[in-house]
Amino acid sequence: MTSSPLNFEIQPSSGMPIYRQLMEQVRALVASGRLEPGDYLPSVRQMAGELDINMMTVSKAYARLEAEGVVERERGLGMRVTNNVPQESAADRKAELREHVEVMVTRAKQLGLTDDQIQAVVKSVLKEWPS
Amino acid sequence: MTECIIEAKSVHKRFGKHKVLTGVDLCVPRGAVVGLLGTNGSGKSTLIKCLLGLLKPDAGDILTLGEDPWDFTAVAKERLGYGPQEAKLYPWMKSGQIVDYTAAFYPKWDGAWATELMDRWDVETDKRAGTLSVGQLQKLSLVLALGHRPELLVLDEPVASLDPKARREFLRSLVEITDDEQHTVLFSTHITSDLERIATHVAFLRDGVISFFGGLDELKEQVKRLRITAEIDLPATFNVPGAMRIEVNGRTALVAIPQVSDPLVESLRHDWQANVTVEDLNLEEIFLEFHDA
Protein backbone atom coordinates (compact mmCIF):
# COMPACT_ATOMS: atom_id res chain seq x y z
CA MET A 1 0.00 0.00 0.00
CA THR A 2 1.21 3.47 -0.87
CA SER A 3 0.00 6.71 0.64
CA SER A 4 0.33 10.37 -0.32
CA PRO A 5 -0.58 13.46 1.73
CA LEU A 6 -4.24 13.13 0.76
CA ASN A 7 -3.98 9.44 1.66
CA PHE A 8 -4.44 8.20 -1.84
CA GLU A 9 -3.64 4.57 -1.93
CA ILE A 10 -3.95 1.93 -4.53
CA GLN A 11 -3.93 -1.81 -4.55
CA PRO A 12 -2.44 -2.89 -7.86
CA SER A 13 -3.54 -6.48 -7.32
CA SER A 14 -7.16 -5.59 -6.78
CA GLY A 15 -9.76 -6.62 -9.32
CA MET A 16 -10.71 -2.96 -9.67
CA PRO A 17 -8.60 -1.13 -12.27
CA ILE A 18 -6.26 1.41 -10.69
CA TYR A 19 -7.85 4.38 -12.48
CA ARG A 20 -11.18 3.45 -10.92
CA GLN A 21 -9.63 3.21 -7.48
CA LEU A 22 -8.31 6.74 -7.93
CA MET A 23 -11.67 8.04 -9.15
CA GLU A 24 -13.47 6.57 -6.17
CA GLN A 25 -11.00 8.13 -3.77
CA VAL A 26 -11.22 11.58 -5.34
CA ARG A 27 -15.02 11.40 -5.23
CA ALA A 28 -14.88 10.34 -1.60
CA LEU A 29 -12.47 13.16 -0.69
CA VAL A 30 -14.75 15.68 -2.38
CA ALA A 31 -17.85 14.21 -0.79
CA SER A 32 -16.31 14.39 2.66
CA GLY A 33 -15.13 17.96 2.16
CA ARG A 34 -11.46 17.08 2.57
CA LEU A 35 -11.09 18.38 -0.97
CA GLU A 36 -13.00 21.65 -1.30
CA PRO A 37 -14.05 23.53 -4.42
CA GLY A 38 -10.98 25.33 -5.75
CA ASP A 39 -8.53 22.79 -4.33
CA TYR A 40 -6.17 21.18 -6.81
CA LEU A 41 -5.53 17.50 -7.25
CA PRO A 42 -1.87 16.45 -7.23
CA SER A 43 -0.37 16.79 -10.70
CA VAL A 44 -0.46 13.70 -12.88
CA ARG A 45 3.31 13.37 -12.58
CA GLN A 46 3.26 13.77 -8.82
CA MET A 47 0.46 11.28 -8.31
CA ALA A 48 2.04 8.72 -10.64
CA GLY A 49 5.41 9.20 -8.97
CA GLU A 50 4.10 8.83 -5.45
CA LEU A 51 2.04 5.76 -6.18
CA ASP A 52 4.55 4.24 -8.64
CA ILE A 53 1.99 3.85 -11.35
CA ASN A 54 1.78 4.73 -14.99
CA MET A 55 1.01 8.41 -15.73
CA MET A 56 -1.49 7.29 -18.34
CA THR A 57 -3.49 5.65 -15.58
CA VAL A 58 -3.66 8.89 -13.61
CA SER A 59 -4.54 10.87 -16.75
CA LYS A 60 -7.33 8.44 -17.47
CA ALA A 61 -8.80 8.84 -13.97
CA TYR A 62 -8.54 12.64 -14.16
CA ALA A 63 -10.11 12.80 -17.63
CA ARG A 64 -13.09 10.75 -16.46
CA LEU A 65 -13.50 12.86 -13.34
CA GLU A 66 -13.44 15.92 -15.57
CA ALA A 67 -16.12 14.39 -17.78
CA GLU A 68 -18.20 13.76 -14.66
CA GLY A 69 -17.80 17.39 -13.66
CA VAL A 70 -16.04 16.62 -10.39
CA VAL A 71 -12.93 18.55 -11.45
CA GLU A 72 -12.09 20.99 -14.22
CA ARG A 73 -8.85 21.42 -16.08
CA GLU A 74 -7.22 24.76 -15.43
CA ARG A 75 -4.58 25.41 -18.05
CA GLY A 76 -1.10 25.23 -16.63
CA LEU A 77 -2.36 24.73 -13.11
CA GLY A 78 -3.89 21.30 -13.11
CA MET A 79 -7.16 19.77 -12.06
CA ARG A 80 -9.33 21.89 -9.79
CA VAL A 81 -12.29 20.66 -7.81
CA THR A 82 -15.43 22.31 -9.16
CA ASN A 83 -18.08 23.88 -6.99
CA ASN A 84 -20.94 22.15 -8.74
CA VAL A 85 -20.52 18.96 -6.78
CA PRO A 86 -22.63 19.29 -3.67
CA GLN A 87 -20.98 17.93 -0.59
CA GLU A 88 -22.81 14.80 0.31
CA SER A 89 -24.52 14.54 3.65
CA ALA A 90 -23.21 12.14 6.24
CA ALA A 91 -26.26 9.97 5.54
CA ASP A 92 -25.33 9.70 1.85
CA ARG A 93 -21.76 8.92 2.68
CA LYS A 94 -22.85 6.25 5.11
CA ALA A 95 -25.09 4.78 2.45
CA GLU A 96 -22.11 4.59 0.12
CA LEU A 97 -19.97 2.96 2.77
CA ARG A 98 -22.74 0.46 3.43
CA GLU A 99 -22.34 -0.98 -0.06
CA HIS A 100 -18.70 -1.72 0.62
CA VAL A 101 -19.43 -3.12 4.05
CA GLU A 102 -22.05 -5.49 2.65
CA VAL A 103 -19.44 -6.99 0.34
CA MET A 104 -16.96 -7.20 3.19
CA VAL A 105 -19.41 -8.84 5.58
CA THR A 106 -20.40 -11.40 2.95
CA ARG A 107 -16.76 -12.34 2.54
CA ALA A 108 -16.18 -12.37 6.29
CA LYS A 109 -19.10 -14.77 6.76
CA GLN A 110 -17.74 -16.98 4.00
CA LEU A 111 -14.49 -17.08 5.91
CA GLY A 112 -16.42 -18.28 8.92
CA LEU A 113 -15.64 -15.30 11.15
CA THR A 114 -17.85 -14.39 14.10
CA ASP A 115 -19.34 -10.91 14.53
CA ASP A 116 -16.83 -10.14 17.27
CA GLN A 117 -13.93 -11.23 15.07
CA ILE A 118 -15.16 -9.06 12.20
CA GLN A 119 -15.47 -6.05 14.49
CA ALA A 120 -12.00 -6.70 15.90
CA VAL A 121 -10.52 -6.63 12.40
CA VAL A 122 -12.32 -3.38 11.55
CA LYS A 123 -11.12 -1.81 14.79
CA SER A 124 -7.54 -2.81 14.16
CA VAL A 125 -7.67 -1.29 10.67
CA LEU A 126 -9.17 1.91 12.09
CA LYS A 127 -6.35 2.12 14.61
CA GLU A 128 -3.83 2.43 11.79
CA TRP A 129 -5.39 5.76 10.76
CA PRO A 130 -4.76 9.09 12.45
CA SER A 131 -8.10 10.12 13.95
CA MET B 1 -5.47 3.36 -37.20
CA THR B 2 -3.17 2.24 -34.46
CA GLU B 3 0.48 2.42 -35.25
CA CYS B 4 2.13 -0.88 -34.38
CA ILE B 5 5.66 -0.50 -33.05
CA ILE B 6 5.86 -4.27 -33.14
CA GLU B 7 3.73 -6.19 -35.60
CA ALA B 8 3.81 -9.97 -35.80
CA LYS B 9 1.72 -11.98 -38.22
CA SER B 10 1.36 -15.74 -38.01
CA VAL B 11 4.83 -16.26 -36.56
CA HIS B 12 5.94 -19.90 -36.28
CA LYS B 13 9.05 -21.24 -34.59
CA ARG B 14 10.01 -24.81 -33.78
CA PHE B 15 13.09 -26.40 -32.30
CA GLY B 16 13.39 -29.86 -33.85
CA LYS B 17 10.07 -31.56 -33.21
CA HIS B 18 9.14 -29.11 -30.50
CA LYS B 19 6.71 -26.49 -31.84
CA VAL B 20 7.03 -23.40 -29.65
CA LEU B 21 5.24 -20.68 -31.61
CA THR B 22 2.37 -21.82 -33.81
CA GLY B 23 0.97 -18.63 -35.30
CA VAL B 24 1.60 -15.60 -33.13
CA ASP B 25 -0.29 -12.43 -34.10
CA LEU B 26 0.52 -9.32 -32.13
CA CYS B 27 0.41 -5.55 -32.49
CA VAL B 28 2.13 -3.48 -29.81
CA PRO B 29 0.87 0.11 -30.17
CA ARG B 30 3.14 3.12 -29.69
CA GLY B 31 3.25 4.34 -26.10
CA ALA B 32 1.94 1.07 -24.68
CA VAL B 33 3.50 -0.74 -21.76
CA VAL B 34 2.75 -4.36 -22.55
CA GLY B 35 3.18 -7.20 -20.10
CA LEU B 36 3.71 -10.56 -21.76
CA LEU B 37 2.43 -13.35 -19.54
CA GLY B 38 2.77 -17.05 -20.03
CA THR B 39 3.50 -20.14 -18.01
CA ASN B 40 7.04 -21.49 -17.81
CA GLY B 41 8.08 -22.88 -21.16
CA SER B 42 5.26 -21.15 -23.05
CA GLY B 43 7.76 -19.52 -25.39
CA LYS B 44 7.97 -15.95 -24.08
CA SER B 45 11.74 -15.74 -24.58
CA THR B 46 11.50 -17.39 -28.00
CA LEU B 47 8.89 -14.86 -29.10
CA ILE B 48 10.94 -11.94 -27.77
CA LYS B 49 14.04 -13.19 -29.57
CA CYS B 50 12.11 -13.52 -32.83
CA LEU B 51 10.75 -9.99 -32.43
CA LEU B 52 14.30 -8.70 -32.04
CA GLY B 53 15.98 -10.69 -34.80
CA LEU B 54 17.93 -12.89 -32.39
CA LEU B 55 16.09 -15.95 -33.70
CA LYS B 56 14.79 -16.43 -37.21
CA PRO B 57 11.13 -17.51 -37.33
CA ASP B 58 10.32 -20.54 -39.51
CA ALA B 59 7.34 -18.72 -40.98
CA GLY B 60 5.40 -15.50 -40.57
CA ASP B 61 6.16 -11.80 -40.80
CA ILE B 62 7.53 -9.45 -38.20
CA LEU B 63 7.98 -5.71 -38.37
CA THR B 64 9.70 -4.16 -35.39
CA LEU B 65 10.18 -0.38 -35.55
CA GLY B 66 9.09 -0.72 -39.15
CA GLU B 67 11.87 -3.15 -40.12
CA ASP B 68 12.31 -6.89 -40.48
CA PRO B 69 14.26 -7.62 -37.30
CA TRP B 70 16.38 -10.30 -39.00
CA ASP B 71 17.84 -7.50 -41.16
CA PHE B 72 17.80 -4.66 -38.66
CA THR B 73 19.70 -1.55 -39.76
CA ALA B 74 21.93 0.32 -37.33
CA VAL B 75 19.22 3.00 -37.19
CA ALA B 76 16.67 0.55 -35.78
CA LYS B 77 19.17 -0.90 -33.30
CA GLU B 78 19.85 2.60 -31.98
CA ARG B 79 16.17 3.03 -31.23
CA LEU B 80 15.95 -0.29 -29.41
CA GLY B 81 16.86 -1.44 -25.91
CA TYR B 82 16.92 -5.09 -24.88
CA GLY B 83 17.35 -6.65 -21.47
CA PRO B 84 17.86 -10.41 -21.82
CA GLN B 85 16.69 -12.87 -19.20
CA GLU B 86 20.24 -13.86 -18.36
CA ALA B 87 22.77 -11.10 -18.63
CA LYS B 88 26.02 -12.28 -20.13
CA LEU B 89 28.62 -9.59 -19.66
CA TYR B 90 32.42 -9.53 -19.79
CA PRO B 91 33.33 -10.87 -16.33
CA TRP B 92 36.76 -9.23 -16.31
CA MET B 93 35.42 -5.72 -16.93
CA LYS B 94 34.36 -3.43 -14.10
CA SER B 95 30.68 -2.50 -14.29
CA GLY B 96 31.52 1.17 -14.92
CA GLN B 97 33.74 0.13 -17.82
CA ILE B 98 30.97 -2.01 -19.28
CA VAL B 99 28.67 1.01 -19.20
CA ASP B 100 31.31 3.18 -20.94
CA TYR B 101 32.00 0.43 -23.46
CA THR B 102 28.29 0.05 -24.29
CA ALA B 103 27.84 3.83 -24.43
CA ALA B 104 30.41 4.00 -27.24
CA PHE B 105 28.02 2.07 -29.50
CA TYR B 106 25.19 4.57 -29.06
CA PRO B 107 25.42 8.09 -30.51
CA LYS B 108 22.52 9.17 -28.30
CA TRP B 109 23.74 7.60 -25.03
CA ASP B 110 22.61 9.65 -22.02
CA GLY B 111 25.59 9.38 -19.69
CA ALA B 112 24.03 11.40 -16.89
CA TRP B 113 20.94 9.21 -16.92
CA ALA B 114 22.99 6.00 -16.90
CA THR B 115 25.05 7.30 -13.96
CA GLU B 116 21.87 8.22 -12.13
CA LEU B 117 20.42 4.74 -12.68
CA MET B 118 23.61 3.06 -11.45
CA ASP B 119 23.45 5.22 -8.38
CA ARG B 120 19.72 4.76 -7.77
CA TRP B 121 19.92 0.99 -8.14
CA ASP B 122 23.11 0.68 -6.05
CA VAL B 123 25.25 -0.89 -8.75
CA GLU B 124 28.91 -0.47 -7.78
CA THR B 125 30.92 0.88 -10.70
CA ASP B 126 34.33 -0.42 -9.63
CA LYS B 127 33.37 -4.06 -9.17
CA ARG B 128 34.18 -6.60 -11.86
CA ALA B 129 31.10 -8.05 -13.54
CA GLY B 130 32.29 -11.56 -12.70
CA THR B 131 32.00 -10.83 -8.99
CA LEU B 132 28.52 -9.28 -9.08
CA SER B 133 25.51 -11.09 -7.65
CA VAL B 134 22.76 -12.22 -10.01
CA GLY B 135 20.59 -9.29 -8.94
CA GLN B 136 23.42 -6.77 -9.40
CA LEU B 137 24.19 -8.22 -12.81
CA GLN B 138 20.56 -7.93 -13.82
CA LYS B 139 20.46 -4.29 -12.72
CA LEU B 140 23.63 -3.54 -14.67
CA SER B 141 22.12 -5.18 -17.72
CA LEU B 142 19.00 -3.01 -17.33
CA VAL B 143 21.17 0.13 -17.19
CA LEU B 144 22.70 -0.97 -20.49
CA ALA B 145 19.23 -1.46 -21.99
CA LEU B 146 17.93 1.90 -20.76
CA GLY B 147 20.98 4.15 -21.12
CA HIS B 148 20.14 5.52 -24.55
CA ARG B 149 16.47 6.07 -23.64
CA PRO B 150 15.31 3.73 -26.38
CA GLU B 151 12.07 4.29 -28.20
CA LEU B 152 11.30 0.60 -27.82
CA LEU B 153 12.36 -1.28 -24.74
CA VAL B 154 12.06 -5.05 -24.68
CA LEU B 155 12.78 -6.81 -21.41
CA ASP B 156 12.74 -10.53 -20.73
CA GLU B 157 11.85 -11.20 -17.09
CA PRO B 158 13.50 -7.95 -15.96
CA VAL B 159 12.64 -8.29 -12.29
CA ALA B 160 13.05 -12.04 -11.80
CA SER B 161 16.15 -11.82 -9.61
CA LEU B 162 15.55 -8.42 -8.02
CA ASP B 163 14.52 -7.96 -4.42
CA PRO B 164 11.29 -6.02 -3.71
CA LYS B 165 13.11 -2.71 -3.13
CA ALA B 166 15.08 -2.99 -6.36
CA ARG B 167 11.93 -4.02 -8.21
CA ARG B 168 10.17 -0.89 -6.99
CA GLU B 169 13.12 1.31 -8.00
CA PHE B 170 13.18 -0.32 -11.39
CA LEU B 171 9.45 0.13 -11.96
CA ARG B 172 9.77 3.78 -10.94
CA SER B 173 12.46 4.32 -13.58
CA LEU B 174 10.37 2.52 -16.16
CA VAL B 175 7.41 4.79 -15.40
CA GLU B 176 9.68 7.83 -15.86
CA ILE B 177 10.78 6.65 -19.28
CA THR B 178 7.29 5.99 -20.55
CA ASP B 179 5.68 9.17 -19.27
CA ASP B 180 5.74 10.94 -22.65
CA GLU B 181 3.60 8.22 -24.25
CA GLN B 182 6.14 7.97 -27.09
CA HIS B 183 8.24 5.23 -25.57
CA THR B 184 6.99 1.68 -25.86
CA VAL B 185 7.80 -1.19 -23.53
CA LEU B 186 7.26 -4.92 -23.92
CA PHE B 187 8.24 -7.02 -20.95
CA SER B 188 7.69 -10.61 -19.99
CA THR B 189 7.16 -11.51 -16.39
CA HIS B 190 5.51 -13.97 -14.11
CA ILE B 191 5.08 -11.47 -11.28
CA THR B 192 1.62 -10.13 -12.03
CA SER B 193 1.55 -7.52 -9.25
CA ASP B 194 4.44 -5.59 -10.85
CA LEU B 195 2.72 -5.77 -14.16
CA GLU B 196 -0.57 -4.52 -12.75
CA ARG B 197 1.11 -1.38 -11.46
CA ILE B 198 2.53 -0.13 -14.73
CA ALA B 199 1.16 -2.08 -17.69
CA THR B 200 -1.37 -0.53 -20.04
CA HIS B 201 -1.86 -3.77 -21.95
CA VAL B 202 -1.38 -7.47 -21.36
CA ALA B 203 -0.71 -10.31 -23.75
CA PHE B 204 -1.20 -13.95 -22.79
CA LEU B 205 0.98 -16.45 -24.63
CA ARG B 206 -0.52 -19.91 -24.58
CA ASP B 207 -0.12 -23.01 -26.73
CA GLY B 208 2.10 -21.11 -29.14
CA VAL B 209 -0.33 -18.27 -29.83
CA ILE B 210 -1.38 -15.00 -28.22
CA SER B 211 -4.59 -16.14 -26.58
CA PHE B 212 -5.47 -12.67 -25.35
CA PHE B 213 -4.27 -9.16 -26.06
CA GLY B 214 -5.97 -6.07 -24.70
CA GLY B 215 -6.03 -3.22 -22.23
CA LEU B 216 -5.47 -4.20 -18.62
CA ASP B 217 -8.28 -1.96 -17.33
CA GLU B 218 -10.76 -3.33 -19.87
CA LEU B 219 -9.71 -6.88 -19.01
CA LYS B 220 -10.38 -6.29 -15.31
CA GLU B 221 -13.69 -4.64 -16.08
CA GLN B 222 -14.91 -7.45 -18.29
CA VAL B 223 -13.65 -10.72 -16.85
CA LYS B 224 -15.63 -11.52 -13.74
CA ARG B 225 -16.52 -14.41 -11.53
CA LEU B 226 -20.17 -14.97 -10.74
CA ARG B 227 -21.07 -16.55 -7.45
CA ILE B 228 -24.50 -18.06 -7.93
CA THR B 229 -26.53 -19.34 -5.00
CA ALA B 230 -29.86 -20.92 -5.92
CA GLU B 231 -32.75 -22.08 -3.75
CA ILE B 232 -32.33 -25.65 -4.92
CA ASP B 233 -29.40 -27.79 -5.99
CA LEU B 234 -28.08 -26.82 -9.40
CA PRO B 235 -27.99 -29.60 -11.99
CA ALA B 236 -24.64 -31.02 -13.09
CA THR B 237 -25.49 -29.77 -16.57
CA PHE B 238 -25.72 -26.18 -15.30
CA ASN B 239 -24.30 -23.95 -17.99
CA VAL B 240 -23.76 -20.28 -18.65
CA PRO B 241 -23.20 -19.21 -22.26
CA GLY B 242 -19.62 -18.16 -22.93
CA ALA B 243 -18.33 -19.31 -19.52
CA MET B 244 -14.62 -20.08 -19.29
CA ARG B 245 -14.99 -22.29 -16.26
CA ILE B 246 -17.91 -23.54 -14.19
CA GLU B 247 -17.69 -25.14 -10.79
CA VAL B 248 -20.98 -26.47 -9.44
CA ASN B 249 -21.23 -27.43 -5.80
CA GLY B 250 -24.76 -28.15 -4.56
CA ARG B 251 -26.76 -24.94 -4.56
CA THR B 252 -23.82 -22.75 -5.46
CA ALA B 253 -21.84 -22.33 -8.63
CA LEU B 254 -18.74 -20.33 -9.48
CA VAL B 255 -18.63 -19.20 -13.07
CA ALA B 256 -15.79 -17.32 -14.74
CA ILE B 257 -16.97 -15.33 -17.72
CA PRO B 258 -14.96 -13.28 -20.21
CA GLN B 259 -17.52 -10.49 -20.50
CA VAL B 260 -20.02 -9.66 -17.79
CA SER B 261 -23.28 -7.90 -18.67
CA ASP B 262 -26.31 -6.82 -16.65
CA PRO B 263 -28.80 -8.79 -18.81
CA LEU B 264 -26.77 -11.97 -18.25
CA VAL B 265 -26.76 -11.50 -14.48
CA GLU B 266 -30.47 -10.63 -14.51
CA SER B 267 -31.41 -13.69 -16.54
CA LEU B 268 -29.43 -15.96 -14.20
CA ARG B 269 -31.22 -14.44 -11.23
CA HIS B 270 -34.56 -14.92 -12.92
CA ASP B 271 -34.03 -18.38 -14.44
CA TRP B 272 -32.64 -20.00 -11.31
CA GLN B 273 -34.26 -17.85 -8.66
CA ALA B 274 -30.71 -17.36 -7.54
CA ASN B 275 -28.67 -14.82 -5.67
CA VAL B 276 -25.90 -13.73 -8.04
CA THR B 277 -22.90 -11.70 -6.95
CA VAL B 278 -20.32 -10.42 -9.40
CA GLU B 279 -16.76 -10.65 -8.12
CA ASP B 280 -13.79 -8.68 -9.42
CA LEU B 281 -10.72 -10.68 -10.36
CA ASN B 282 -7.17 -9.49 -10.23
CA LEU B 283 -4.74 -10.23 -13.03
CA GLU B 284 -3.36 -13.38 -11.48
CA GLU B 285 -6.85 -14.80 -11.02
CA ILE B 286 -7.81 -13.82 -14.56
CA PHE B 287 -4.66 -15.44 -15.91
CA LEU B 288 -5.44 -18.65 -14.04
CA GLU B 289 -9.07 -18.66 -15.23
CA PHE B 290 -7.81 -18.32 -18.80
CA HIS B 291 -5.35 -21.14 -18.32
CA ASP B 292 -7.54 -23.59 -16.43
CA ALA B 293 -10.25 -23.29 -19.04
Q: Is the pLDDT of residue B12 over 80?
A: yes
Domain end (from B219, B247, B264): B219
The CATH number of whichever domain residue B243 belongs to comes to: 3.30.70
Specify whether B68 is located in the same domain as B205.
yes
Q: What is the pLDDT of residues B222-239, one digit of tens each?
A: 899 999 888 888 888 888
Domain that holds residue B92: 4-219
Specify whether B268 is located in the same domain as B213.
no
Q: What is the pLDDT of residues A56-86, one digit of tens each?
A: 899 999 999 998 888 999 888 889 998 876 6
Specify whether B207 is located in the same domain as B282.
no
Q: What is the pLDDT of residues B244-277, one digit of tens each?
A: 888 888 888 899 988 888 888 888 888 888 888 8
- pLDDT score, position A1: 40
For residue A49, list chain B residues with Cβ-Cβ distance below 8 A: 172, 175
Domain end (from B188, B219, B250): B219
Q: What is the pLDDT of residues B42-52, one digit of tens each?
A: 999 999 999 99
- pLDDT score, position A4: 45
Q: Residues in chain A whose beta carbon is closer than 8 A to a beta carbon of chain B? A: 12-20, 45, 48-49, 52-57, 60, 106
SS (H, E, C) chain B: CCCEEEEEEEEEEEECCEEEEEEEEEEEECCCEEEEECCCCCCHHHHHHHHCCCCCCCEEEEEECCECHHHCCHHHHHCEEEECCCCCCCCCCEHHHHHHHHHCCCCCCCHHHHHHHHHHCCCCCCCEHHHCCHHHHHHHHHHHHHCCCCCEEEEECCCCCCCHHHHHHHHHHHHHHHHHCCCEEEEECCCHHHHHHHCCEEEEEECCEEEEEEEHHHHHHHCEEEEEECCCCCCCCCCCCCCCEEEEECCEEEEEECCCCHHHHHHHHHHHCCEEEEEECCHHHHHHHHHHC
- pLDDT score, position A87: 62
Specify whether B176 is located in the same domain as B283.
no
Specify whether B167 is located in the same domain as B236.
no
> Please, what is the average pLDDT of chain B?
90
Specify whether B214 is located in the same domain as B229.
no
Query: Confidence class of residue B53 from pLDDT cuts 50, 70 and 90?
Result: very high
Can you tell me the ipTM of this complex?
Answer: 0.76
CB contact under 8 A, B175 and A16: no
The CATH number of whichever domain residue B56 belongs to comes to: 3.40.50.300
Specify whether B105 is located in the same domain as B240.
no
Pick from A15, A53, A56: CB nearest B280: A15
Q: Is the pLDDT of residue B92 over 80?
A: yes
Specify whether B62 is located in the same domain as B144.
yes
Domain end (from B155, B185, B219): B219
Specify whether B9 is located in the same domain as B120.
yes
Specify whether B122 is located in the same domain as B267.
no
Determine the residue of chain A that is closest to B32 in CA distance: A56
Specify whether B230 is located in the same domain as B212.
no
Mutation target for A interface from B196, B201, B281, B287: give the one with most A CBs within 10 A. B196
Number of compact structural domains in chain B = 2
Specify whether B238 is located in the same domain as B195.
no
Note the pTM of the prediction, 2 decimals: 0.81
- What's the mean pLDDT in A41-54? 88
CB contact under 8 A, B217 and A60: yes
- pLDDT score, position B293: 55
CB contact under 8 A, A56 and B200: yes
Q: What is the pLDDT of residues B180-215, one digit of tens each?
A: 778 999 999 877 888 888 899 999 999 999 999 999
Q: How far is A47 from chain B (nearest CA, A)?
A: 12
By percentage, how much of chain A surpasses pLDDT 90?
A: 30
- pLDDT score, position B195: 85
- pLDDT score, position A5: 59
